[in-house]
Structure 1
């Protein structure tokens, strides 16, 4: 009994004498001398410190140009007061000084945290070294 169906035939698995033979593949042609041949994609180039520094400095330079444009366009003088001191600065310079002071506060807080982590890791390394010598 035919599992596909009683009236259906099995699919053919090869050419029959009435079918034409399959076409032959085209011949391989070598490129003329001096021409560029496509190659497989190259392996990914590893990132280096010098490359990372270059990218960071490039972004920093673009940021400084944008910052300079901001300061030059905001030259209107504003009166500021801080802990009893009163002074007048251009608005762009005042905002720039505030941003720099905020970055310094962040750097000090981050530095303190780094020191704490180094101390805790060195304590952990000392206790592990003492445990392995016992």
Structure 2
């Protein structure tokens, strides 16, 4: 029986075990037997430190991405779509300029229907932005805690 590893190489279980032992620096026998663990023995600070360190050859950092210069194609597409949506909104407001009466907590006022719908859309965007910002803030705090626990 052989196993496919992420690199695409086919390895037998013995080869996988030998590779794992060489990477981890384990003292376990290569015959497939498991080593007995002495739960009563306490680890020295040096052993704890070695156990928490990443294997040799790994820096523990994520690969960096190179930022290109200038605006990407996605940015241009979103800029053009945004301009198109603004033009469509202006046409909608101009065609729906019929005054509409609104009542809100005792206030009574009139606005063109298109303008009122535009204000409602802006309000929805602001609410979604606030909720998204809070979520990003929470995720950033979690990431900082994880990085601090890993000692990065």
User: In which range does the TM-score fall when normalised by the shorter chain?
Assistant: 0.5 to 0.7
Calculate the TM-score normalised by the size of structure 2.
0.52
Give distance in 2, aligned partners of 1:77 and 1:114: 40
Counterparts of 1:1-134 in structure 2 under 5 Å?
49-129=71-151
Task: Provide structure 1 residue ranges, at least 5 long, that are not aligned to the other structure.
Answer: 1-45
> Any idea what SS the aligned residue of 2:72 has?
helix
Calculate the TM-score normalised by the size of structure 1.
0.59
Deviations 1:1-20 (A, max 9, x none): xxxxxxxxxxxxxxxxxxxx
Task: Provide structure 2 residue ranges, at least 5 long, that are not aligned to the other structure.
Answer: 1-67
Give distance in 1, aligned partners of 2:131 and 2:98: 33
> Any idea what SS the aligned residue of 2:151 has?
helix
Give distance in 1, aligned partners of 2:77 and 2:149: 41
Give distance in 1, aligned partners of 2:81 and 2:114: 21
Shift of 1:50: 3.1
Aligned structure 1 segments of 4 or more residues deviating by more than 4 angstroms: none
Give distance in 1, aligned partners of 2:113 and 2:98: 6
Deviations 1:88-125 (A, max 9, x none): 00000000000001100110110011000000010011
Superposed CA RMSD in Å reads 1.8
Shift of 1:49: 3.9
Deviations 1:45-97 (A, max 9, x none): x9x74322211110001111111110000011000011221110000000000
